[in-house]
Amino acid sequence: MRITSVLALSAVLSACGLPGEDFCTLEARASVQVNVVDPRGTPVRDARVTFSLNGSAEQLALCNGSELAQGNCDTWVTSYEQPGNYVVTATSANGQRTARQSVTVGEDECHVQTQTVTLTLPD
């Protein structure tokens, strides 16, 4: 009876993980999430958002996390699960106003540590 209890407890602990063990999830986390606003804090949904990672060529951020098309965006995402040094740029739809910010994204043993950036386009 005692051996059965020990085996049952062993099975439960192995299914849940032992204390101190980390288990990674299968989700993909955004590296940088970007919000664009005007000086009053109103979202600018038609901005064009780009980024570079570790000095690479500029790339288009993903509108609402999945679309390459720009416009009607609530948020933008630079990439998924890529740590490093980002330079994120937002430009108004007419190309007249620009805001830029640098941000460093770290990672743990499972995922990047998502950074949220709010860029304010000047009037």
Residues 39, 122 contacting (CB under 8 angstroms): yes
- Establish if 43 belongs to a structural domain: yes
pLDDT in tens, the chain (123 residues): 444 333 333 333 334 444 455 689 999 999 999 999 999 999 999 999 999 999 999 999 999 888 877 778 999 999 999 999 999 999 999 999 999 999 999 999 999 999 999 999 999
- Name the DSSP class of 112: B
- Establish if 102 belongs to a structural domain: yes
- Establish if 52 belongs to a structural domain: yes
CATH number for the domain including 63?
Answer: 2.60.40.1120
- Residue 22's pLDDT is 63
2 backbone dihedrals φ, ψ, rounded to 5°: -65, -40
Q: Closest by alpha carbon to 76, among 35, 117, 41, 114? A: 35
- Residue 104's pLDDT is 98
- Establish if 9 belongs to a structural domain: no
| Residue 53 buriedness (CB in 10 A; 0-12 / 13-18 / 19+) | buried
- Residue 20's pLDDT is 52
3-state secondary structure of 12: helix
- Establish if 22 belongs to a structural domain: no
- Name the DSSP class of 17: -
- Establish if 2 belongs to a structural domain: no
Q: How far is CA 18 from CA 10, 12, 66, in A?
A: 10, 10, 36
